[in-house]
């Protein structure tokens, strides 16, 4: 199979699907890899490095889609790519199809493509092995973003995140104790902030309370506790995830009004709809907007701020799956790897993930059925 790596056309996206060392791994195992010219430039990878790794450099996006059996990207295809998607092609990327442009889903269905969404690849225990490293990076970036937008010159409250002698630190509230939330808590504690965490899962709350004894205040998430913490927060981090489905708006516009003037919202869940009613996607080159005096930072591709680190982190997680898909007939690969199979959202003209089916108000079939088999 030929694996294609296009240059990202998404706004302010600097990552690339695979770095040269991952390409070398695939080539060593018999795959042919084609890379669009300058695809890795945003992450600091040169055409010469890809060439040395064994890839063939192609000059146009048309050539990539025209030759590749498998297209590996960071984000979902953009409208410029829709006409180029070929019948039966396999697309592997962070897609978020439940909140994607419906035209893209229609095309994937009509052309009987296979869409593997990295963020819905899930093991038996419910862990998300590809989303995990991206979530870790996003969570660990919270202090540096918060520090910048609390500064006076960025329209903030003029508060030092970690405080100073006889000067209290900022109050950071994290909603959600998943991978993003845990890493945000860890990073903010390390930066000296006072941290409050809310989640509906008591076991997760207990784990974080045990991990950071006396360093984090925890609450069971409900409307009353949300209102309480919003009344004193300087920074509120949205870190809620329902894999493959739209994130619910846990904080209404009226509740946002409880925050003090020039407080900061960082909605890391915005790539799946956001957990604040006032959230809307922004871009790295214009990341914030203000609603009723509250600064909102809502960048869907937050890890792209550290594009090289994020590319390596993503590659470490996806390389085994890309190698699997390229090594054998797809039906065999999916039957042998249930974790990868759960990442399939569209297959052979059918929706195969419940989150996408819910968003489109249609039925989902199992991957096994879509492959022409039957459920055990």
Catalytic residues: 96, 271
Place of tokens 């003090």: 260
What distances in angstroms separate CA 160 from CA 149, 154, 231, 259, 272, one per listed residue? 10, 13, 19, 18, 31
* Beta-sheet pairing, 216-220 with 90-94: unpaired
Q: Which of 94, 179, 193 is nearest to 140 (CA)?
A: 179
Instruction: State the Cα–Cα distance between residues 322 and 116, nearest whole angstrom.
Output: 10
DSSP 159: -
Ordered strands of the 235-238 beta sheet: 216-220, 194-199, 171-175, 235-238, 264-267, 294-297, 288-291
End-to-end alpha-carbon separation of the chain, Å?
A: 29
Tokens of residue 320, six digits: 């085994």
Tokens of residue 167, six digits: 């000067």
What distances in angstroms separate CA 231 from CA 154, 156, 258, 369, one per listed residue? 22, 17, 5, 51
């Amino acid at each position: 199979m030929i694996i294609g790596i296009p240059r990202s056309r998404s706004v302010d996206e600097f990552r690339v699907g695979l770095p040269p060392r991952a390409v070398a791994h695939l080539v060593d195992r018999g795959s042919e890899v084609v890379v669009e010219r300058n695809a890795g430039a945003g992450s600091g990878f040169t055409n010469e490095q890809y060439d040395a790794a064994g890839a063939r450099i192609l000059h146009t996006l048309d050539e990539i889609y025209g030759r590749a059996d498998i297209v590996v990207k960071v984000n979902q295809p953009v409208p410029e790519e829709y006409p180029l998607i070929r019948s039966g092609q396999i697309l592997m990327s962070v897609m978020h199809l439940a909140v994607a442009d419906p035209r893209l889903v229609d095309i994937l269905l009509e052309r009987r493509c296979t869409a593997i969404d990295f963020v819905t690849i899930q093991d038996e225990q419910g862990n998300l092995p590809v989303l995990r490293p991206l979530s870790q990076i996003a969570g660990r970036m919270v202090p540096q973003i918060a520090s910048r937008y609390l500064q006076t010159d960025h329209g903030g409250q003029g508060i030092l995140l970690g405080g100073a002698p006889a000067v209290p630190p900022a109050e950071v509230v994290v909603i959600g104790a998943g991978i993003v939330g845990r890493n945000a808590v860890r990073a903010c504690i390390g930066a000296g902030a006072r941290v409050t965490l809310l989640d509906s899962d008591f076991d997760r709350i207990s784990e974080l309370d045990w991990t950071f004894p006396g360093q984090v205040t925890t609450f069971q998430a409900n409307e009353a506790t949300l209102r309480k913490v919003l009344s004193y927060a300087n920074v509120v981090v949205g870190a809620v995830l329902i894999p493959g489905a739209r994130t619910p708006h846990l904080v209404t516009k009226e509740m946002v009004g409880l925050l003090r003037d020039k407080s900061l919202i960082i909605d890391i869940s915005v790539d799946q709809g956001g957990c604040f009613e006032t959230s809307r996607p922004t871009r790295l080159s214009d990341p914030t907007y203000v609603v009723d005096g509250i600064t909102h930072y809502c960048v869907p591709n937050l890890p792209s701020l550290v594009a090289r680190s994020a590319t390596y982190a993503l590659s470490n997680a996806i390389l085994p799956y890309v190698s699997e898909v390229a090594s054998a007939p797809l039906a065999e690969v999916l039957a042998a790897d249930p974790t990868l199979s759960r990442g399939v959202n569209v297959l052979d003209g059918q929706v195969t993930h419940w989150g996408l089916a819910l968003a489109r108000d249609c039925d989902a079939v199992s991957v096994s059925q879509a492959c022409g088999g039957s459920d055990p």
